[in-house]
Structure 1
Amino acid sequence: MRPRSGPTVQHRVLAARLRILREQAGVTLRAAADALDAHPATVRRIERAETGLDARQVAALLRCYEAPPAVAEPILTGLGAANLPGWWHQWRDAMESWQQDVIGVESSASLVRTWHPALVPELLRTSAYAAGLYRIRYPDDTPARRERRLELLRERRRRLSERGTALWALLPAAALHTRVGDAATMAGQRRALAEAMEQQHITVQVVPLDHPPHPMTAMPPLHLLRVPAPEIGDQAVLETPGVRVDLIDDPDAVMAHRIRLDAACAAAPPPGTPLPLRSPAPGP
């Protein structure tokens, strides 16, 4: 059964170690499955952290791979913590399924890089700005459910700040001219963004309205997550709003996204450049 709140990084690390041990031992998926008296798909799901780590199954796999005690014991000892639900579990009623996987990685990231083609990136949004977007995206939400979504966003930001996670955001100046909510909401968002730019662990680059096209022009929202665990490579999150959100771990695909984002950041005004002075025109 897939963890209801999405796998934690600890879970992903142990799953990756099991895959690495199998490959190093030269054991096929079929042979590993035979050791469990199961289907190869079961082993594949274990290795992808798509199901809970059962102690009996893990022990059988370690025996099959002839893992020495110095390797096997830390894995078995870590099963309890790896199977615990993540902190975000209590907000699962206010989350979409894809958010569970993304936040599971984000919660252990040392660096989050983010791009949005039209709006202020999510982790830099004020509560008022985010609430305005939630009213559009989730028109059937009750006030209580909308507040739960805001609580989750605030908790994500708090934990990133508490851990000192580096946040690097790239956005177009058009995001500061797209009116979300009323004039006070936009003014508050601009102030919050300017204050964020003064924080040591936050880097913000704003592409001017008259800037020529760059490698991220017209690209959907993109997030790159770096986790300080050798078993887990960088992850990319590509959003197609209203359609799907993909968590990408293929190294070549992630590298392609990173190169594109690097080039866009290199073409943009350097970090620390003041926000555009012109404020959005007030609404009717």
Structure 2
Amino acid sequence: RQRQRGARLWTVLSAAALHPVIGGPGVRRAQHQALEAGLAEQRTALQVMPLDSAPYPLLGAPPVRHLRVDADIPDHVVEHRPFATTITDDEATVARWRQALNGTAAAATWPTTLTPHLPPEETHRG
């Protein structure tokens, strides 16, 4: 559906999110392969905050989505917290999140491969 609508996905994630083993090594490997494939997609942008990065605006923030549909519909922010998801189009709230997202994106890398960000056991497979 994303391709049908011409939608674009832009993700900024911490390199720490690439390290947990939830579901086992095979699941993590499949997730990493899917992310690697996404790096080549034209409608997908993936940035990574390195483990050794300086503090950045979204450090410690909950997962958040900034949704921009079109010029006729206001931007929305979706915050995901334990036991609650908040969706708002309040201009001041959206502006604060947009500023934090922009600052974080400016500090993140644009990798062509995830290999430098992966745990050592993931980068030395045969």
User: Which entry has the higher C-alpha Rg, 1 or 2?
Assistant: 1
TM-score (norm 2): 0.88
Given that 1:167 and 1:201 are in contact with CA atoms closer than 8 Å, whether structure 2 keeps it comes out as yes
1:216 matched residue in structure 2? 58
2:78 matched residue in structure 1? 237
2:96 matched residue in structure 1? 256
1:279 matched residue in structure 2? 119
C-alpha displacement of 1:160? 1.3
List aligned pairs for 1:156-195, cutoff 5 A.
Answer: 159-195=1-37
Aligned-residue Cα RMSD (Å) equals 1.7
**Is 1:207 aligned to 2:46, yes or no?**
no
Given that 1:208 and 1:276 are in contact with CA atoms closer than 8 Å, whether structure 2 keeps it comes out as no
Given that 1:224 and 1:234 are in contact with CA atoms closer than 8 Å, whether structure 2 keeps it comes out as yes
**Which ranges of structure 1 fall in alignment gaps of 5 or more residues?**
1-158
Where 1:219 maps in the other structure, the secondary structure is coil
Residue type at the aligned position of 2:74: G
TM-score (norm 1): 0.41
1:214-237 C-alpha deviation (Å, 9 max, x unpaired):
00000001001111152x210000
Separation in 2, partners of 1:175, 1:181: 14
Given that 2:39 and 2:112 are in contact with CA atoms closer than 8 Å, whether structure 1 keeps it comes out as no
Residue type at the aligned position of 1:178: P
C-alpha displacement of 1:267? 0.8
C-alpha displacement of 1:281? 4.8
C-alpha displacement of 1:170? 0.5
Separation in 1, partners of 2:53, 2:70: 35
Given that 2:48 and 2:111 are in contact with CA atoms closer than 8 Å, whether structure 1 keeps it comes out as no
Overall identity of the aligned pairs, in %: 36
Where 2:100 maps in the other structure, the secondary structure is helix
CA 237–251 in structure 1, closer or farther in 2 if over 3 Å, else same: same
Where 1:214 maps in the other structure, the secondary structure is coil
List aligned pairs for 1:1-284, cutoff 5 A.
Answer: 159-230=1-72, 232-241=73-82, 243-269=83-109, 271-277=110-116, 278-279=118-119, 281=121
**Which ranges of structure 2 fall in alignment gaps of 5 or more residues?**
none
C-alpha displacement of 1:162? 2.6
C-alpha displacement of 1:276? 3.5
Q: Which has the higher contact order (CA 8 A, sep 6+)?
A: 2
Residue type at the aligned position of 1:191: Q
Structure (1 or 2) with the greater helix fraction: 1
Where 2:115 maps in the other structure, the secondary structure is coil
C-alpha displacement of 1:183? 0.7
1:174-195 C-alpha deviation (Å, 9 max, x unpaired):
1110112111111111111011
Given that 2:79 and 2:87 are in contact with CA atoms closer than 8 Å, whether structure 1 keeps it comes out as yes
